[in-house]
A = this chain, B = another copy of it.
Amino acid sequence: MPVDDVTVRRPTLTQVAALAGVSLKTASRALNQEPNVAPSTGRRVRDAADLLGYRLNGIARELRRGATSALVGLVSGDLTNPFYSAVASGIERELRQHGLLLITANNDEDAMLERSLVDAFLERRVRALLVIPSADDHEYLAIEGNRGVPFVFLDRPPDGLSADAVLIDNAGGARSAGEHLLGAGHRRIALVSDLVRMAPQRARIDGFVGAMRAAGNDAWEPFLRTGVHDVRQAERTVRDLLALDQPPTAVFTTNNRLTTGALRAMRELADPPALIGFDDFDLADVLGTTVVAHDMTALGREAARLAYERISGHSGPARTIVISTSIIARGSGERPPR
C-alpha cells in the first residue's frame, strides 16, 4: 500500500511556517528555542512541524552558518584490528561530549587511497581530521594545515609538516621489553617486526636494540626479522626461527598481529620460548602472555581533545602527547632460557 518508490521530498521550514500561519523566520526561531517567540506561536509551529514530520536540514544550516560541518574525520587502518577500533572508540566517546560525530574511513594501507580519503573528508568540510597514516610522507597535507582544518596525527609523527600528534612511547616500551627478557637471563632473543617503513616499528626496533647494546648483548642479531606484515607470515617466521639449530630462547613481537602469529606458532609446543608482545590484547590474561601495554582508548581520547581545542580556536605551536607503556607480566615473558 505505501507508495515508497517515489522519493518523497521532505517538508521544509517554509511549509511548516505556512501550515502554522507564521513567517519563515518565526518558525525558525520557534524550532531553535530562540527568544522572542510567543508561547502560543511556538506551540503552533511545533505542532505543524510534528504533523508534517519536519526535520531540520543540517546541510542547509551548515552551508548558511559557514560551510563547516559537525563532523570529524578519522582515516586509519581496518577497524577489525583491535588497535584501530580501540582508538576509534576513544575518539568517538570524546567527540560526542561536544556534539561532534565521527566519520571513519579505512586507508587499506594504501597511500593513494589515503590521500583521496583525506580529500573526500576535506570536501565534506570536516571540522578536524585525525589520521593514523599508512604513508610516511605527509607533505601534501601541509597545504591544508593553515587553512583552518586542524590535523592530528595518531601513533605516527607528522613528517613534512608541523601538526598535533599523540604517540606511544614505542622506544621506551620496546626497551623495557628487551630489558625484561635480558633480566630473565635471555641472550638469544628474536625480534619479529612489521614493515620498517612505519615509524612506530622503527622506534620499537631501536628501543629493543638499545637495550641489547646497553647490556653488551649481540646474540640477538641473527634473529632479527623485519617486514613481517600479517598473522600467517608471523606464524611462519616464528616457526622457522624455532626450527633453527640454535634457536632463540625468547621472542619479542612488535605488534598485536605478530603476537597472534607467534602464539599460533607456539601453540603445541611443550616447552615454548619466552614471549613478549607489543600491544595488549583481549585474552592475554587467559593465555598468560606478557605484553607491553598502553592505553589505546586514551590515545584516541587525547587526539580528540587536541582536535577539539583547535576547533575551539586554540592556536599555538603543534603539541605532542606521548602515551606511556608498561610491562604486564603474565608468565610468557618470565620463562627462563632453556
B residues near A79, Cβ cutoff 8 Å: 79, 85-86, 88-89, 92
Q: Which residues of B contact A86 (CB under 8 A)?
A: 79-80
CB-CB under 8 A from A283, the residues of chain B are 260, 263, 281-283, 287
Inter-subunit contact A101/B103 (CB<8 Å) = yes
Q: How far is the CB of A246 from chain B (nearest CB, A)?
A: 26
The answer to whether A213 has its CB under 8 Å from any CB of chain B is no
* A266 CB → nearest B CB, Å: 8
Contact in complex: B104, A102 (CB < 8 Å): yes
User: A56 at interface (Cβ–Cβ under 8 A)?
Assistant: yes
The interface residues of chain B lying within 8 Å CB-to-CB of A286 are 260, 263-264, 267, 287
Nearest opposing residue in chain B for A73, CB measure:
B101
> Given the complex, which residues of B lie within 8 Å of A4, measured CB to CB?
145-146, 148, 315
Complex: A80 Cα to B123 Cα, angstroms: 29
Per-residue interface assignment for chain A, residues 163 to 192, with 1 indicating a CB less than 8 Å from any chain B CB and 0 otherwise: 000000000000000000000000000000
Q: Is the CB of B147 within 8 A of A10?
A: yes
- Report A300 CB to chain B, min CB distance, Å: 10
Contacting pair A104 B80 (CB below 8 A): no
Asked if B55 and A59 sit within 8 Å, CB to CB, the answer is no
Q: Any chain B CB within 8 A of the CB of A120?
A: yes
B80 and A80 form a contact (CB under 8 A): no
- Nearest-Cβ distance from residue A157 to partner chain B, whole angstroms: 19
Decide: B297 and A80 in contact? CB cutoff 8 A: yes
Q: Which of A52-84 contact B (CB under 8 A)?
A: 53, 55-60, 62-63, 67, 69-71, 78-80, 82
Q: Is the CB of B285 within 8 A of A57?
A: no
Chain A 185-226 interface mask (CB, 8 Å, partner B; 1/0): 000000000000000000000000000000000000000000
Pull 19 A–B residue pairs with CB atoms less than 8 Å apart, ordered by A. Answer: A3-B146, A5-B313, A5-B315, A55-B119, A55-B123, A58-B125, A59-B59, A59-B62, A63-B63, A69-B124, A88-B104, A96-B105, A96-B106, A102-B104, A103-B104, A104-B104, A267-B286, A283-B283, A287-B287
